[in-house]
Amino acid sequence: MAQIELKAITKAFGETEVLKGVDLSISEGEFVTLVGPSGCGKSTLLRILAGLEAASSGQVVIGGADMTHIRPADRNLAMVFQSYALYPHLTVAENMMTPLKMRDLSRGQRLPIIGPMMARARYRELMNSVREAAETLKIEPLLGRKPGQLSGGQRQRAALGRALVRNPVAFLMDEPLSNLDAALRVHMRTELAELHRRLGTTFVYVTHDQAEALTMSDRMAVMREGRILQVGPPEEIYNDPQSVEVAEFVGSPPINLLPGEVNSSGQVTLLDEVLGQVERRHAGPVLIGMRPETLVLAPRGLEAQVKHRENLGSDIFLHLKTTSIERRMLVRVSPGTPAQIGDRVHLAIDFEKVMVFGQTGDRLPFAARVLEKIA
């Protein structure tokens, strides 16, 4: 059974519909990413799950119970914000203890006032929870420091620690890495993924960065204009996108999209080369999608000229212009490649990896051409 279920969620701010019917089921312990361009409704969806925003219609189910109208504090979800929101005058330990104290306070309204002895015992209990969380996050040495004495990454971990002590059903994170510099952001991806494995708690993670989604999640939900376009494991989203929007959104450098043609017998051609077959009813113009690794330099094949050579150390991206009809494309090659700017090269296409998109942007079922044996 799904632990978290978002059912037919819609949200309008005045006249503007920002969520247009979102369904998503999340299993216990899953790391699910909501990813999409800025303004597509990711934060709104997360806030609806957290209870910080009310949906216009639809249902939020957590652990089998309808939580749609339950206040945030009673959903036992931990929200980690981008801005960390740590109290500057409190130490990391005190910051981490705050949610537990707040919980005590709200329960205290229904309990008799506790005496100083009890308070000390309770403090030790809270401190134990804090130490345990600090150990998990490897921030014990920071417990006595104030936020001003921490680096960006350490502040990030302190904020996570504060969420962790509450032992929540799930962690909800909204672009938690966007304030960090590039190197730290990449490092924190690994840390968060490891933390998730250690904790085994559900993570719902919002980002506009497809690389974060690809590297960390068990499943990613690609959003656009208030809808989820496709949900699946990163490999599936990358290798098997169901629409041109999803294909374009994931992958860096982006997928090559070139105008192709389907003839009346369903044959797919690109620059006069036959790539394979789709159903005949799709005859007409199509878009041919090829990831930068779908094209390889070969002794013969499509002819192109090297326009730019982008050296990334481990890989080189060649920016090419085909010679017959001018089309720009980008291929990934190994660092040893002799191809230099201005050179003419030939490209072989890995037909099995070609994607064909129809006029509405939907992916068309495609049977790749079987290569004749080269004698």
Residues interacting with ligand ADP, by CB under 6 A? 13, 18, 36, 38-44
Q: What are the CB-based long-range contacts (under 8 Å, 24+) for 177-181?
A: 177/207, 177/212, 178/82, 178/207, 178/209, 179/82, 179/83, 179/84, 179/152, 180/152, 180/153, 180/156, 181/152
Interaction between residue 230 and Mg ion (CB under 5 A): no
Q: Is the N-terminal amide bond of 365 cis, ω within 30° of 0?
A: no
Q: Would you say 95 or 207 has its CB closer to Mg ion?
A: 207
Any residues with CB less than 8 A from the CB of 192 and at least 6 apart, and which? 176, 177, 203, 205, 216
Residue 289 CB, nearest distance to ligand ADP (Å)? 25
Q: Would you say 36 or 241 has its CB closer to ligand ADP?
A: 36
| Number of other residues whose CB lies within 10 A of the CB of residue 1 | 9
Pick the stretch among 40-48, 63-71, 119-127, 217-225 that binds Mg ion (CB under 5 A).
Answer: 40-48
Binding partner at 156 among Mg ion, ligand ADP, none, C-beta below 5 to 8 Å by kind: none
Rounded to whole angstroms, the Cα distance separating 18 from 95 reads 34
Class of residue 183 by CB neighbours under 10 A (exposed 0-12, middle 13-18, buried 19+): exposed
Binding partner at 13 among ligand ADP, Mg ion, none, C-beta below 5 to 8 Å by kind: ligand ADP
Q: Measured between alpha carbons, how far apart are the two ends of the chain, in Å?
A: 55
Number of residues that bind Mg ion (CB under 5 A): 1
Residue 14 CB, nearest distance to ligand ADP (Å)? 7
How many helices (H) and strands (E) are present in the chain, helices listed first?
A: 8, 22
The identity of residue 310, as a single letter, is: E
Residue 11 CB, nearest distance to ligand ADP (Å)? 8
Pick the stretch among 17-25, 43-51, 61-69, 348-356 that binds Mg ion (CB under 5 A).
Answer: 43-51
Q: Which residues of 265-274 are buried (b: 16+ CB within 10 A; e: fewer)?
A: ebbbebbebe
Among 33, 43, 201, 242, binds Mg ion (CB under 5 A): 43
Q: Would you say 33 or 43 has its CB closer to ligand ADP?
A: 43
Q: Would you say 133 or 221 has its CB closer to ligand ADP?
A: 221
Pick the stretch among 42-50, 62-70, 275-283, 319-327 that binds Mg ion (CB under 5 A).
Answer: 42-50
Rounded to whole angstroms, the Cα distance separating 73 from 76 reads 6
Interaction between residue 242 and Mg ion (CB under 5 A): no
Interaction between residue 33 and Mg ion (CB under 5 A): no
Class of residue 88 by CB neighbours under 10 A (exposed 0-12, middle 13-18, buried 19+): exposed
Angle at 370 between CA 367 and CA 373, to 5 degrees: 175
- Round the CA-based radius of gyration of the chain to a whole number and report it: 26
Q: Would you say 33 or 43 has its CB closer to Mg ion?
A: 43
Pick the stretch among 36-44, 62-70, 194-202, 355-363 that binds Mg ion (CB under 5 A).
Answer: 36-44
Residue 191 CB, nearest distance to ligand ADP (Å)? 23
CA 271, 273, 276, 279 dihedral sign is: positive
Binding partner at 44 among Mg ion, ligand ADP, none, C-beta below 5 to 8 Å by kind: ligand ADP
**In this structure, are residues 158 and 92 in contact, taking their beta carbons and an 8 Å threshold?**
yes
Q: State which residue has the least CB distance to Mg ion.
A: 43
Interaction between residue 217 and Mg ion (CB under 5 A): no
Of 147, 175, 182, 183, nearest to 162 (Cα)? 147
Q: Would you say 17 or 240 has its CB closer to ligand ADP?
A: 17
| Number of other residues whose CB lies within 10 A of the CB of residue 171 | 24
Binding partner at 358 among ligand ADP, Mg ion, none, C-beta below 5 to 8 Å by kind: none
Q: Would you say 81 or 87 has its CB closer to Mg ion?
A: 81
Residue 231 CB, nearest distance to ligand ADP (Å)? 16
Strands 328-333 and 316-322: antiparallel
Binding partner at 217 among Mg ion, ligand ADP, none, C-beta below 5 to 8 Å by kind: none
Binding partner at 39 among ligand ADP, Mg ion, none, C-beta below 5 to 8 Å by kind: ligand ADP
Binding partner at 311 among ligand ADP, Mg ion, none, C-beta below 5 to 8 Å by kind: none
Residue 155 CB, nearest distance to ligand ADP (Å)? 22
Any residues with CB less than 8 A from the CB of 224 and at least 6 apart, and which? 36, 37, 40, 245, 249
Contact residues toward Mg ion (CB under 5 A) are 43
